[in-house]
């Protein structure tokens, strides 16, 4: 697993408001898309939600630094910054041409099929801890 995962995203008109600026809630969509691709690239099957566990956003803190504009090619990153028994936290950032546009932390909790907290599966915990060791 790479220390910092990067995923390119093109901004379309549907992502923007009437002024051609990305609507604030769409930043969260970009972070979500990047987390999904990061999990896939890390070897965690995208069918994880159909198994005995799922990941849900428990807490998110996002800072908007500069506007994202229609037709921008942005790079969204994900980097593990903590791993607990039943949750993990990622630092995520959005860049355009190396300029930081937004940044935040996203804590994801692991839930069982009954929507109750459960320990992270061992293979996921191993991947996350390996990522932490590379930081």
Q: What percentage of the chain carries pLDDT values higher than 90?
A: 76
Rounded to an integer, what distance in angstroms lies between the CA atom of residue 24 and that of residue 33?
Answer: 15
Judge whether 133 counts as a catalytic residue. no
Which one is catalytic: 17, 71, 112, 133? 17
pLDDT exceeds cutoff 50 at 1: no
Domain 5-134 has CATH 3.10.129.10: yes
Q: Which residues contact 47 (CB under 8 A, 6 or more apart)?
A: none
As beta bridge partners, residue 61 has 105
In tens, the pLDDT along 105-114 reads 999 999 998 9
Q: Could you tell me if 12 and 81 are in contact, meaning their C-beta atoms sit under 8 angstroms apart?
A: no
pLDDT tens-digit profile of 55-80?
999 999 999 999 999 999 999 999 99
Q: Is the pLDDT of residue 2 over 60?
A: no
* Token pair recorded at residue 38: 């990061």
Is the pLDDT assigned to residue 99 strictly greater than 80?
Answer: yes
Domain ranges in the chain?
5-134
Kindly state the helix (H) or strand (E) to which residue 33 belongs, with its residue range.
Answer: helix 24-41
């Amino acid at each position: 697993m790479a220390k910092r995962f990067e995923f390119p995203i093109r901004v379309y008109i549907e992502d923007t408001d009437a002024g051609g600026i990305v609507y604030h809630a769409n930043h969260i969509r970009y972070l979500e898309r990047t987390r999904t691709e990061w999990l896939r690239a890390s070897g965690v099957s995208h069918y994880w939600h159909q198994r005995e566990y799922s990941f849900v956003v428990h807490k998110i803190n996002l800072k908007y630094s500069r506007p994202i504009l229609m037709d921008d090619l942005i790079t969204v990153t994900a980097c593990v910054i903590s791993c607990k028994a039943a949750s993990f936290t990622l630092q995520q950032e959005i860049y355009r041409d190396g300029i930081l546009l937004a940044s935040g932390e996203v804590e994801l909790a692991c839930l069982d099929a009954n929507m109750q907290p459960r320990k992270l599966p061992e293979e996921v915990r191993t991947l996350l801890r390996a990522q932490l060791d590379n930081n």
